[in-house]
Homo-oligomer: A and B are copies of this chain.
Amino acid sequence: MSKPVRVTVWNEFRHEKDSSHAASQIYPDGMHAPIAGWLRQQGMDVATATLDEPEHGLTQELLDKTDVLIWWGHLAHGEVCDEIVDRVQLRVLSGMGLVVLHSGHHSKIFRRLMGTTGHLKWREADERERIWVVEPGHPIAAGIDRFIELDRVEMYGERFDIPAPDTLVFISWFEGGNVFRSGCCWNRGRGRIFYFRPGHESFPHFHNEQILRVISNAVNWAVADNPGFDDVANERESLEPIGAKD
């Protein structure tokens, strides 16, 4: 029997502590709680970590035993220490999967790994979103029909400043007239990265089973087949003889 996937769900966890914010009602224990709960139901071995813990909860020890890290941040991207971002980046390049949710498009770690700004257009107008599957054969789309419909969302629209995804799995349609590349896969080093658009703090999308299913699919997809670090090295000995030159 294979060992359970080890996931760490990282959450900024600020909105939810503000009792005047809708998030405090929808996610009283933090957005990470229902995500972690769902992943545990799938048989995964789940830890959580949040911004205000020492080292943001992301110790080297925890990262070393994390197969896939989930990231949600919004208000306080700038408070994430660069040293921790370095640490997470190296783990991803060594094979740790990374699933970035919603406003995480502007997180330091996502921008670091993408090399772009992560900028996009947005609107808060309680509009409908339909997340279309464009690669139905992809494992992240398993169990999802032709689309997921969300009745009220914050809109994210193109132009989304990302490197063209290695695989584009979902495209969102918005009632207000916009589209968005909302499910995007990239490989970086030996790591796999998935960006998934839904998850605004003011809506209960992390209680929606279809959204949760995409997240657990993405975790399973993001587990490295062959973790390891590809370093720089001087290979003094050649594999073949090198002839003398004039």
Contacts and interface: CB of A to CB of B under 8 A. Distances in A.
Interface of A: 89, 93, 95, 106, 112-117, 119-123, 125-128, 130, 132-139, 141-142, 146, 151-152, 155, 157-161, 163-164, 166-168, 171-179, 181, 186-192, 224-228, 230-236, 238-240, 242-243, 245
Copies in the complex: 4
A235 B163 contact: no
A134 B160 contact: yes
Contacts of A95: 137
Nearest to A112: B115
Contacts of A138: 225-226
A93 B176 contact: no
18 contacts: A89-B115, A93-B117, A117-B189, A117-B230, A121-B233, A126-B245, A130-B177, A130-B239, A134-B160, A141-B226, A142-B225, A163-B186, A166-B167, A173-B173, A175-B243, A176-B238, A176-B240, A178-B239
A89 B225 CA distance: 29
A159 B176 CA distance: 22
Nearest to A176: B238
A142 to B, nearest CB: 6
A85 B240 CA distance: 39
Contacts of A228: 136-137
